[in-house]
Structure 1
Amino acid sequence: MEKLTIDSTIYSSKPIEGSRLEKEMKTYRLLEQLGISYLRVDHEPADTIEDCKEIEAILGVKIYKNLFLCNRQKTQFYLLVMPGDKKFVTKEVSKQIGSSRLSFGNAQHMEKYLNTTPGSASILGLMNDKEHKVHLLLDRQVTESEYFGCHPCINTSSLKIQTKDILEKFLRYTGHQPCIIEL
C-alpha cells in the first residue's frame, strides 16, 4: 500500500475562500455559523478507512466509516456511520431498522441527496438533504465517543469535531433524527 501524502499541519479554521470546491467551503461556513469548532488536516484523496490510519494518528481521532445504503427498491436511503474497525453485516442492520435487505446506494443518489461522491461520504453531507430523503443510522459506539472524525464532504481533508456538537448542534440544524444501532 502506498503511503498517503498528508500535510501534517493541523488547522483550526477553514481554507482560504475560493481555494477549494464550493461543497467543502459550504461545510466550513455552516460549522462556523453553528459555532462548531474543529481541527482539520489536508491530504491526498483518502478513499478508504485504511487510507485514514495516518490521518487518525495526526488528528488524534478515529475517522468513521460512512456507508450510503438503500433498500432493494431504491426508495429508502440511509447513511450508516460506524467505527472503521467494525464489520458491516447487512442482515444485522436491516433487522434493527425493520427494512428489507440493504445494499450500497449508487453514486447518483449519493450526489443528489448528500452532494458527496463515493469515498467522500460524510455525516456533514446531511446539510444538503433538505427533504430528509436519507435516514441517519449511527452505531452506538459513535455516539459514545468524545470526538467525531469525518471528511468535510470531500476526501482531501479530515476533521476532528466534538461528538456532542454533531449530535446537539449539527443534527438539530439539519433536522435528521439518528437511529442508534448496535453492530
Structure 2
Amino acid sequence: MNEFTLDPTLYDGRPSDCSSRSAAEAACYDFLDGLGVPYRRADHSETPSIEACAAVEALLGAEICKNLFLCNRQKTQFYLLLMPGNKPFHTKDLTGQLGCSRLSFAGEEPMHELLGVTPGSVSVLGLLNDTENRVRLVIDRDVLQPEFFACHPCRNTSSLRIATADLTGRILPALRHEPDYVSL
C-alpha cells in the first residue's frame, strides 16, 4: 500500500487545471461554482478510510463527514447516510428512526450506477448523479452543528470545506434531495 501524502497548501476553489481530475470531480466544482458556493480544497493521495482523513481534517479545520451508502435486503431502496466520522454506526438506531427494515452496505455496483462514485469517494455531492431520486438522503443532526462541513468532491484525492449553512441552504435544495434528519 502506498504511503498517504498530503499537500500542505489549502486552496480556495477548484484546481486551475481540471484536465487531470475525473469528470465526476470536475462536475462537483462546476456545480458548486454555479451556485456561487465558496469552498476550500485540500489535495492528497487516496484516503481509503475515515481514519486516514485525520491530517486532512486538521488542514481543513473541519471534520470530514462519514458517508455510508446503504440498501434494504432486496436492494430496491437506497440510502445515503451522512454522519460524523468519529461516531459509530449501528443499523438498528437508523432503521428504527426511518421505520424501515434492516439496512446493509449497498455495494460497489449500485454505488457507481446511482452516485457515479467508487468506494471511498462517496459524498453528498454524488447525488448530482442521482437524477431520478432513487437514493434517500439521511443526515445525522450532529453533522449540521459545526460551522463547516467537509466531504470529497466524488473522488477521495481531494477534500472540500464548505460552510454548513451553504450545505443546507444552497447545496441540498439544488440537489433536489429532501433529507430525513436522524439522531444516531
Q: Secondary structure at the match of 1:124?
A: helix
2:86 aligned partner = 85
More off after superposition, 131-140 vs 141-150: 141-150
- Shift of the alpha carbon at 1:108? 0.7
Equivalent residue, structure 2, for 1:21 = 22
TM-score, normalization: structure 1?
Answer: 0.97
Q: CA deviation at 1:166?
A: 1.1
Per-residue Cα deviation, 1:152-176 (whole angstroms, up to 9, x for no partner) = 0000000000111111111111110
Amino acid at match of 1:80: L
More off after superposition, 2-11 vs 104-113:
2-11
Superposed structure 1 runs of 4+ greater than 4 Å apart: none
1:119 Cα offset (Å): 0.5
CA separation in 2, counterparts of 1:20 and 1:13? 14
Cα deviation for residue 19 of structure 1 reads: 2.2
Query: Which residue identity lines up with residue 106 of structure 2 in the other structure?
Result: G
Rounded Cα–Cα distance in structure 1 between residues aligned with 2:66 and 2:75: 21
Taking the aligned partners of 1:41 and 1:143, their CA distance within structure 2 comes to 21
Instruction: Give the Cα–Cα distance (whole angstroms) in 2 for the partners of residues 21 and 146 of structure 1.
Output: 29
Partner of 1:146: 147
2:133 maps to 1:161: no
Aligned counterparts, 1:21-60, within 5 A? 21-60=22-61
Q: State the 1:2 CA deviation.
A: 7.8
Question: Is residue 2:2 matched to residue 1:7?
Answer: no
Q: 5+ unaligned residues in a row in structure 1: which ranges?
A: none
Letter in 1 for 2:102: R
What's the secondary structure of 1:167's corresponding residue?
helix
Deviations 1:110-139 (A, max 9, x none): 111111111000001011111100001100
Matched residue, 2:178: 177
Percent identity, please. Answer: 50
Structure 1 CA distance for aligned equivalents of residues 113 and 167 of structure 2:
22
Counterpart CA distance in 1 for 2:139 and 2:18 is: 32
Match of 2:102 in 1: 101
Letter in 1 for 2:112: E
Alpha-carbon distance in 1 for matches of 2:75, 2:23: 28
| Cα RMSD, aligned residues only | 1.2
2:118 counterpart residue number:
117
Q: Distance in 2 between matches of 1:175 and 1:155?
A: 24
